Amino acid sequence: MSTPVLEVRNLVKRFGDVLAVNNLSFSVAPGEIFGFLGGNGAGKTTTLRMVLDIIRPTSGEISVLGSAPDRRQAAAIGFLPEERGLYSGMSAIDTIVYFGRLKGMDTASARSCGMELLERFDLADRAKSDIGDMSKGMAQKVQLATSLVNQPQLLMLDEPFSGLDPVNQGLLENEILRASQRGAAVIFSTHVMQHAERLCDRLLLLRKGRKRFEGTLTEVRRQLPASLVASSKGDLSALPGVASAEPVGAPQDGWQEWQVELDQSVEAASVLEHCSTHGIALRRWDERHASLHDIFVELVGGEGVEE
């Protein structure tokens, strides 16, 4: 396995009596898209701020590109904050060049990369327009460009999809995939589970600053038992691995519809195999996996704001 771009070990952050991040550990490899999921106040933004060295942890270790967080790594990091804003009196291209320069780029490279990004975002003709004269969507694209201008090795996006229209959400998804394809580690926090399902290689679910789950999408789906709808001439409630099976409606020609809930970690395929080997007649077998949204609500839901 390649060296992680970001590695967090036993991270703790307290604000007075409030425990914002509680013994958090995870790592993100190059080219990986890592979803950082959690309710409001779960500690996502606090963790990202600690990775950026904007605030310091109470305890624990963070390793960014092999060393402790420091502004000297800004050249390799791209960051899109949750709360967005730019200098209203500055032009789009000057804004991108300014942030590029702050990340150690020379003016010419920053300008050239900035123009390339603006062209990609269909904003090349507005390069010299002041941010204050742009629509909110345009300004958001310029801000995204400021985080991408240095072609970062670690791209961190805090709630990047919030406030974006569907077109810009698609554009952002493309940019995340593009960054991952060129080898950047991408970590983003979100409330929108569809984006996480579509994009993430791995996910981390936070609850009150504590990690509830970390793994792939397949692994996360195992967090809730699978369910299925089957039509059989036999009784399915007594099958091994079945937590419950309720008949639905009246039988027709001996065929009964069943709503079946499996035990935790039991694969529907193994129950199907059992039916086959034991001669239980089936004419319908519809597996239903728990959605990420259901899992999120199950693991994280119902939390209030903590920070």
Q: Decide: is 85 part of the binding site for other proteins (CB under 8 A).
A: yes
Q: Decide: is 101 part of the binding site for other proteins (CB under 8 A).
A: yes
Q: Decide: is 56 part of the binding site for other proteins (CB under 8 A).
A: yes
Question: Binding residue for other proteins (CB under 8 A) from 9, 71, 136, 178?
Answer: 71
For residues 133 to 152, the per-residue mask of contacts with other proteins, x marking binding by CB under 8 A and - elsewhere, is: ----------x--xx-----
Distance of alpha carbon 290 from alpha carbon 293, whole angstroms: 8
Distance of alpha carbon 173 from alpha carbon 22, whole angstroms: 30
Question: Cβ distance 138 to 93 under 8 Å?
Answer: no
Q: Decide: is 163 part of the binding site for other proteins (CB under 8 A).
A: no
Q: Which is nearer to other proteins, 107 or 265 (CB)?
A: 107
* Adjacent-strand bridge partners of 36: 189, 204
Q: Decide: is 49 part of the binding site for other proteins (CB under 8 A).
A: yes
At 212 the three-state DSSP class reads: strand
Pairing verdict, β 59-64 and 6-15: antiparallel
Q: Decide: is 229 part of the binding site for other proteins (CB under 8 A).
A: no
Question: Cβ distance 274 to 225 under 8 Å?
Answer: no
| Interface stretch with other proteins, choices 55-63, 215-223, 231-239, 290-298 (CB under 8 A) | 55-63
Question: Cβ distance 61 to 9 under 8 Å?
Answer: yes
Q: What is the DSSP letter of 42?
A: S
| Interface stretch with other proteins, choices 69-77, 118-126, 182-190, 206-214 (CB under 8 A) | 69-77
Shortest Å, Cβ 276 to other proteins? 57
Q: Which is nearer to other proteins, 154 or 292 (CB)?
A: 154
Q: Decide: is 188 part of the binding site for other proteins (CB under 8 A).
A: no
- Total residues contacting other proteins by CB under 8 A comes to 29
Distance of alpha carbon 86 from alpha carbon 146, whole angstroms: 10
Distance of alpha carbon 190 from alpha carbon 45, whole angstroms: 11
Q: Decide: is 84 part of the binding site for other proteins (CB under 8 A).
A: yes
- Separation in Å, CA 176 to CA 50, 85, 169: 22, 21, 11
Q: Decide: is 79 part of the binding site for other proteins (CB under 8 A).
A: yes
Contact residues: other proteins, CB under 8 A: 49, 52, 54-58, 71, 74, 77, 79-81, 83-90, 98-99, 101-103, 143, 146-147
